[in-house]
């Protein structure tokens, strides 16, 4: 029965979402509250039905209802309990239902928060949100139904892709989709602003927190994806410029640009058109990413099911972009900015430059990702550009962005005088240059590494200068040091939340730089009892052992790692053999450290356990990336706290 009930619920939700789209629009057009209210009820109904459908699918996984094709394809009786829950969104159909459910949840929050404010915009926001949900429901009823019946019902399912049996897979898709769907809210507000010709700042101030939250989840999704790649895939890296990664990175770049450019509109009434364009672009890129990865037009290491779903996404993407362009054309006259750029050396222009560079980076990633398609279409050759392309073009852009991260928040609005520049940047520049010299003397060979680290020091110095100056000002009013600092964080939480987020990004920068510049690796075959040395570590191979787990069996190598101080460390990288899978799966073992990680991957081995090939890596500063994620979280929480009114 589950397939039929589930399918029925989704069809009902689709009809209700379509009804709500229309009726809320009529409400917006006529201004009759009864229509808007009816649309609101429809949205609540959609949320209830999607919640029910999602719960039903989860239930089907928990009780192994293999009459549901999707359950049979992604689980089997050996799948451990909590991987049965994550298997719900382990493949295409389930991730679409999760996506739609999150959208309906966001719609619910929009209703709760904004139904009494933003009266003119609200009905249209509802219309846009519901139409996006309706699209996803359409996908779930035609090309990718999660509740397709499988008959005859098999005795056991095929099982989850073993690579997805990892805790990172619980949180990574959830965070990523919360980020993707989160951008639907500012998009809906922007569309509503265009429709109602209220393109002023209301939609931006209303959606500021939404944008930060969406941006945060997207960042978190990317970082957790990197962590999953690092500790599951066993190649020792966290980012490969794979199309799927790029698909998530592009909206992050444009979303970051949007996060900054809204500040100029709030403050200077400039960039109205640009902001709407950016939010449309960001939302479109989340759809484009799905199209790219699910349509099979670009080969990727991420093996996803392919099907007609790509066409649906492409069509919807076209509708979104064309509608937005048409609205922009209709409202062209309303979109003129009131402010003017006064001087090139000013905060406005620094933010503008930041935006240009972020969008340029997004364009580069876009270009590199679709390059194989372009080359095939224009020159008929199969050619692609890999990591060297993305690195060579993006690294200079990112270095420029880090520089601006130091300059932007401190430089004066409108026109920065020479005194203003000296006052803010003299010390940070001196400290930055000194840091570059020190890193050079310490033997950092790569120019990019020296630049990245020196710029990081420069930005930290600007934040320190700002914070120290503000603290001093409060101390003059008679506050003590610590309360003064705490007061600053609370009273100006938005500004200092932003600074903390910047510090998080800097930690990620240091981690990326360090791991690129200083990681070392070796690969060799060791006989039992034999040892090898790498970067101050001695690694001894002690033997192999086999064990049977619930749904696979495992060959584990034991290695003793010593570095002259401290207790010896035993690492046990393994290979997991899933009876139904084509090949074994490496199970990495590692010890994380602030300075460096020791990372072992078991390669080939002799069946009698006499020797094993091992890949041994000492990865430098990688943990700083994950630490950056933690700091990012703190900064986001600080930034979205309600702003306090005037000091007591």
Partner 1 sequence: MTQRAKLIGGLAVIALALAYMIYAGVTQSAVYFVTPAELKAGAVSGKAYRLGGMVVPGSVKWDPATLDLAFVLSDGAATVPVRHKGTAPDLFGEGRGAVVEGRWTSDGYFKATLIMAKHSEEYRAPHESGGSAYKDLMKTLSGSDAK
Among 380, 564, 579, 642, binds partner 1 (CB under 8 A): 579
Quick check: 297 binds partner 1 (CB under 8 A)?
A: no
- Helix crossing, 202-232 with 623-640: angle to 10°? 160
> Residue 302 Cβ, how far from partner 1 at the closest point, in Å?
8
> Residue 254 Cβ, how far from partner 1 at the closest point, in Å?
16
Quick check: 52 binds partner 1 (CB under 8 A)?
A: no
Q: Which is nearer to partner 1, 218 or 357 (CB)?
A: 357
DSSP label at residue 575: E
Binding mask 82-121 for partner 1 (x = CB under 8 A): ----------------------------------------
Quick check: 448 binds partner 1 (CB under 8 A)?
A: no
- Among residues 559, 551, 567, 568, the alpha carbon closest in space to that of 615 is found at 559
- Specify the residue for token string 């390059």: 371
Tell me the window of 118-126, 174-182, 522-530, 623-631 that interacts with partner 1 (CB under 8 A).
522-530
Rounded distance, CA 164 to CA 405, Å?
36
Supply 146's token pair: 């999660």
Distances (CA, A) of 51 to 6, 277, 502: 11, 33, 36
Distances (CA, A) of 61 to 47, 54, 57, 136: 21, 11, 6, 22
Q: Which is nearer to partner 1, 46 or 405 (CB)?
A: 405
- Among residues 360, 338, 198, the alpha carbon closest in space to that of 266 is found at 338
Residues sharing a CB contact under 8 Å with residue 24, sequence separation 6 or more, in sequence order: 35, 36, 38, 39, 40, 42, 43, 123, 124, 126, 127, 130
- Inter-residue contact 13 to 135 (CB < 8 Å): no
Hey, which residues between 143 and 182 contact partner 1 (CB under 8 A)?
158-159, 161
Quick check: 303 binds partner 1 (CB under 8 A)?
A: yes
> Residue 609 Cβ, how far from partner 1 at the closest point, in Å?
4
Hey, which residues between 340 and 359 contact partner 1 (CB under 8 A)?
340-344, 349, 352-353, 356-357
Tell me the window of 80-88, 100-108, 427-435, 573-581 that interacts with partner 1 (CB under 8 A).
573-581
> Residue 378 Cβ, how far from partner 1 at the closest point, in Å?
13
Count residues near partner 1 (CB under 8 A).
64
- Inter-residue contact 214 to 232 (CB < 8 Å): no
Rounded distance, CA 331 to CA 162, Å?
51
Quick check: 543 binds partner 1 (CB under 8 A)?
A: yes
Residues sharing a CB contact under 8 Å with residue 91, sequence separation 6 or more, in sequence order: 70, 73, 74, 161, 304, 305
Quick check: 583 binds partner 1 (CB under 8 A)?
A: yes
Residues sharing a CB contact under 8 Å with residue 597, sequence separation 6 or more, in sequence order: 590, 591, 617, 618, 619, 622, 623
Write the DSSP string, 209-226: HHHHHHHHHHHHHHHHHH
Among 151, 550, 582, 648, binds partner 1 (CB under 8 A): 582
Q: Which is nearer to partner 1, 502 or 575 (CB)?
A: 575
Binding mask 369-398 for partner 1 (x = CB under 8 A): --x---------xxxxxx-xxx-xx--x--
Tell me the window of 80-88, 104-112, 298-306, 530-538 that interacts with partner 1 (CB under 8 A).
298-306
Quick check: 64 binds partner 1 (CB under 8 A)?
A: no
Rounded distance, CA 596 to CA 622, Å?
7
Rounded distance, CA 492 to CA 511, Å?
29
> Residue 61 Cβ, how far from partner 1 at the closest point, in Å?
17
> Residue 77 Cβ, how far from partner 1 at the closest point, in Å?
12
Among 575, 620, 621, 629, binds partner 1 (CB under 8 A): 575
> Residue 131 Cβ, how far from partner 1 at the closest point, in Å?
31
Which residues in this chain contact partner 1 in the complex, by CB under 8 A?
158-159, 161, 301, 303-305, 340-344, 349, 352-353, 356-357, 360, 363-364, 367-368, 371, 381-386, 388-390, 392-393, 396, 523-525, 543-546, 548, 553, 555, 575, 577, 579-586, 603-604, 606-609, 611, 613, 615
């Amino acid at each position: 029965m589950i397939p039929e009930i589930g399918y029925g619920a989704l069809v009902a939700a689709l009809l209700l979402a379509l009804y709500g789209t229309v009726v809320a629009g009529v409400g917006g057009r006529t201004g009759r509250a009864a229509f808007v209210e009816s649309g609101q009820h429809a949205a609540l109904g959609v949320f209830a039905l999607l919640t029910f459908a999602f719960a039903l699918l989860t239930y089907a996984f928990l009780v192994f209802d293999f009459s549901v094709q999707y359950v049979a394809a992604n689980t089997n009786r050996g799948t451990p309990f909590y991987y049965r829950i994550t298997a719900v969104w382990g493949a295409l159909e389930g991730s679409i239902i999760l996506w739609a459910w999150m959208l309906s949840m966001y719609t619910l929050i929009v209703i709760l928060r904004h139904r009494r404010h933003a009266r003119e915009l609200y009905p249209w926001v509802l219309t846009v949100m519901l139409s996006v949900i309706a699209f996803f429901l359409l996908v779930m009823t035609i090309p990718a139904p999660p509740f397709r019946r499988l008959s005859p019902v098999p005795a056991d399912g095929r099982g989850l892709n073993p690579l997805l049996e990892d805790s990172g897979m619980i949180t990574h898709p959830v965070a990523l989709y919360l980020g993707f769907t989160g951008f639907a809210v500012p998009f809906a507000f922007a569309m509503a602003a265009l429709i109602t010709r209220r393109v002023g700042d209301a939609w931006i101030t209303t959606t500021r927190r939404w944008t930060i939250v969406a941006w945060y989840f997207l960042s978190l999704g990317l970082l957790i994806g990197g962590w999953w790649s690092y500790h599951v895939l066993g190649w020792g890296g966290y980012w490969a410029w794979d199309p799927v990664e790029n698909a998530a990175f592009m909206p992050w770049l444009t979303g970051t640009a949007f996060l900054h450019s809204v500040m100029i509109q709030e403050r200077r009434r400039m960039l109205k058109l640009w902001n709407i364009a950016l939010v449309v672009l960001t939302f479109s890129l989340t759809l484009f990413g799905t199209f790219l990865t699910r349509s099979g037009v670009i080969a990727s290491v991420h093996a996803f099911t392919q099907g007609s779903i790509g066409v649906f996404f492409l069509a919807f993407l076209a509708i979104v972009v064309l509608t937005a362009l048409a609205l922009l054309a209709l409202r062209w006259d309303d979109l003129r900015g009131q402010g003017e750029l006064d001087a090139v050396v000013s905060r406005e222009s620094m933010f503008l430059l930041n935006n240009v560079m972020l969008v340029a980076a997004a364009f580069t990633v876009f270009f590199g990702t679709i390059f194989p398609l372009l080359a095939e279409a224009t020159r008929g050759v199969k050619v692609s550009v890999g990591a060297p392309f993305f690195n060579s073009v993006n690294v200079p852009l990112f270095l420029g962005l880090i520089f601006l991260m130091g300059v932007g928040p401190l430089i004066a609005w409108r026109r920065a005088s020479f005194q203003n520049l000296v006052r803010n940047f003299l010390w940070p520049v001196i400290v930055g240059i000194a840091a570059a010299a020190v890193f050079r003397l310490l033997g950092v060979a790569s120019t990019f590494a020296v630049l990245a680290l020196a710029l990081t020091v420069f930005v930290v110095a600007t934040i320190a200068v700002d914070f120290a100056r503000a603290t001093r000002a409060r101390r003059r009013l008679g506050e003590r040091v610590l309360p003064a600092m705490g007061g600053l964080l609370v009273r100006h939480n938005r500004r200092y939340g932003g600074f903390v987020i910047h510090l998080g990004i800097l930690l990620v920068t240091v981690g990326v730089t360090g791991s690129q510049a200083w990681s070392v690796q070796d690969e060799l075959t060791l006989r039992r009892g034999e040892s090898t040395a790498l970067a101050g570590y001695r690694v001894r191979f002690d033997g192999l052992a086999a064990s049977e787990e619930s749904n696979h069996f495992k060959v584990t190598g034991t290695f003793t790692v010593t570095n002259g101080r401290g207790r010896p460390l035993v690492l046990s990288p393994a290979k997991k053999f899933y009876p139904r899978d084509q090949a074994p799966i490496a199970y990495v073992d590692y010890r994380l450290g602030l300075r460096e990680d020791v990372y072992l991957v078991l390669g080939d081995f002799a069946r009698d356990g006499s020797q094993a090939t091992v890949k041994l890596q000492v990865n430098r500063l990688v943990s700083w990336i994950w630490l950056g994620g933690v700091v990012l979280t703190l900064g986001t929480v600080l930034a979205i706290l309600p702003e306090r009114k005037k000091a007591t």
